[in-house]
Structure 1
Amino acid sequence: MPTPYRSYVAVGDSFTEGMCDDLLPDGHYRGWADRVASALAGETSATAGGNGGFRYANLAVRGKLIGQIHDEQLAPAVAMGAELVTLAGGLNDVLRPGCDIDAVERQLGRCATELRAGGATVVLFTSTDPTRRLAGSARLLPAILRMKAFVQELGRQDGFAVVDLFSAPCFDDRRLWAEDRLHLAPEGHRRVAAGVLEALGRPAAFDWRAPLPAAAPAGRAERLREDARWLGTHLGPWIGRRLTGRSSGDGRPAKRPELLPYS
């Protein structure tokens, strides 16, 4: 029988915040972490006669670097004493030119160690492979492969689990990604949630790694229109923030900063 969890804290950046998933009534994105929380809350309620008291916090904020995740989210997460923690971070660092991958690994390892020291099960992630869907992303691959090996080594320790997104062919498909090409679309979030639950020993409801059904390729004119829209709407503003030292998460609070009942 898989380990039951009565509390869960999500730590990270936009990936964990849930960027570009469906919007909730309060204006926040749903995201794969909320989907995991919903499934675990359902288990707890079922075993406790409808009053399981499952609690969930999501401290992730878009745009955060791994050092910021450590400095801003780790102490609150550890203090909550949750039984389950998901930790994803470092990709925002890798996207920036001149990334010190040694420093990123040290910070990520420190985060993982501090979270595990409190007794939580810690779930980690490998990045998807952007080179299979994004032109010009080959420069990122050496750092991503190093991070992949580092995360998988951490995952061999007791109390850790790893969701290997890098090896899942479905994430090569642009239909799993939002228009900005950096964040997951709703179907992508659904699949990551299934991957997390599988890593926690839950039976898979579907093959989350499987490719989507084949679709007719877009024509050249349509691809050019999409590329032009992406350059103007997403890439240009992203570059502007990098040049001015700003982040999309500046001044933004976490969407669920307290470990509260989830239903």
Structure 2
Amino acid sequence: MIWGYIQDPVRQSGLLLDYSQSSFFLLLIYGYLYHTLKSRQYFPLLTFIVALAIFTSFSRTTNFLLAVFILSLIVFRVYTREHSIKGGTIIAIVFAFVFLHLLPVILGSDAVDRGGLQDFNTLNSRTQYWSLAWQAIMEKPLLGHGLGNFEYLGAKDSFPNQKIFFVHNDYLQIWMELGVIWFFLFIYSVGYLLIKHRQVIAIPLGVKGDLKRYIDWVMLCCCAAYMAINFIIGSLIFLLLIALIIARLTTYGEN
């Protein structure tokens, strides 16, 4: 992703098909390995490289969740007085952000312009997807329309020049494709995991906390939020990574 951006400063998707998915996958990997690697001397450099790759996708969703992740580490440090995050890590992320935006100027190329917070074109298209999905759900709320049929349930007519396979909301996608029973099972599973392990955030001031378990819980929260605006539930590589996070979090809960 970094090499591609150096060659041509446009949005990068790496090995995945979706720009946002690529950066979010990197964020999940970074979070999963954070506790293991944070004490290594090369960690600030690693953080710089990962942050730089994340920013090359210009995904506002992943950028926001990266900020949530960093803020959660700061909160953990305040409450436990443990060194959950160092200043060098934050500096590396800020420097990566600045470097990415200065590189087109250095190379004399046009920079990526997504319109900032004023441009909500991508959100507007998502609301159209959600509206079409909801109409389809109302037609067959119990059993759904089957896997992979969103394109033929109004999306093809509304977006004739595009191939729209995903609702950009995994919750609506599951209900639309599989019906209300699987929808509620999915909602229950996500809610159960988050509520069951919520005690990891109930850390009294000054009491030592389990940073690795805390980060796993934060990563699950990020996944739950991400699925409301994009799609990862149909990606095997994401499912495997989420399964690893859940397995580790559940194992800690049994100890």
Scaled by the length of structure 2, the TM-score of the pair is 0.27
Which is helix-richer, 1 or 2? 2
Per chain length, whose mean CA-contact separation is higher, i.e. which structure has more relative contact order (CA < 8 Å, sep 6+)? 1
Question: Which is higher, the Rg of structure 1 or of structure 2?
Answer: 2
Which is strand-richer, 1 or 2? 1
